[in-house]
Amino acid sequence: MKIRRLEERDLDTRVEWMNSPAIYESMHYEVPITIEKTIVWFRGNIGSKKRADLVLEDDGEIVAFCGITGIDPKSLKGEIYTFVNPFKKHKGIGTQAKSMMADYAFNVLKLNKLFSITNEDNIPSIKINEKLGFVNEGRLRKEYLTSEGVLMDRLYFGLLKEDWEKNQIV
């Protein structure tokens, strides 16, 4: 598998996946996502130092979108995100993508900390975080209102560069 920067040619696939309930039910954005707004978003972020949006490919096929947002140059931290092809979930791609993103964040972007905020019921994401050495640093109580009108807790996971270097899984 290889990781590369998100390109405009990837946006149709990104929009299709983001409009899939298998993706948006565990992420926090309003649907539907449109290609027009996504192109504007993409072009507006070219050269941004506050985010890095990437693509994970396997034999030339996109298998995941991932990135780091909210990069803070003072604290050297950012929030990591990953979403896998909705038809290829539960095959280890999310773990591989998040692992490659951590390596990219610490070795290319020179960050010191990554964090991941995960819905309390997103067991696959929680397991990936724990497998990669992220530490549960807290519970954000009643942080997110679901489409069913239920306030849900979210979990805050953090990973320090020094911990990643000690326990690296690739």
Per-residue pLDDT of the chain (170 residues; tens, 9 = 90+): 999 999 999 999 999 999 998 888 777 788 899 999 999 999 999 999 999 999 999 999 999 999 999 999 999 999 999 999 988 877 899 999 999 999 999 999 999 999 999 999 999 999 999 999 999 999 999 998 887 889 999 999 999 999 999 987 54
Domain ranges of the chain: 2-167
- Among 114, 5, 97, 116, which residue's Cα sits nearest to residue 54? 5
Q: Considering all CA atoms of the chain, what is the largest pairwise distance in Å, rounded to the nearest integer?
A: 43
Q: Which residue has the tokens 């309930």?
A: 21
Structure tokens, 101: 């993103």
Q: What is the pLDDT of residue 169?
A: 52
Task: Supply the pLDDT for residue 23.
Answer: 86
Global pTM reads 0.91
Phi/psi at 100 (5° precision) = -65, -35
Task: Report long-range pairs for 85-89 (Cβ below 8 Å, ≥24 apart).
Answer: 85/17, 86/17, 86/20, 86/22, 86/23, 88/63, 89/22, 89/124
CATH 3.40.630.30 fits 2-167, yes or no: yes
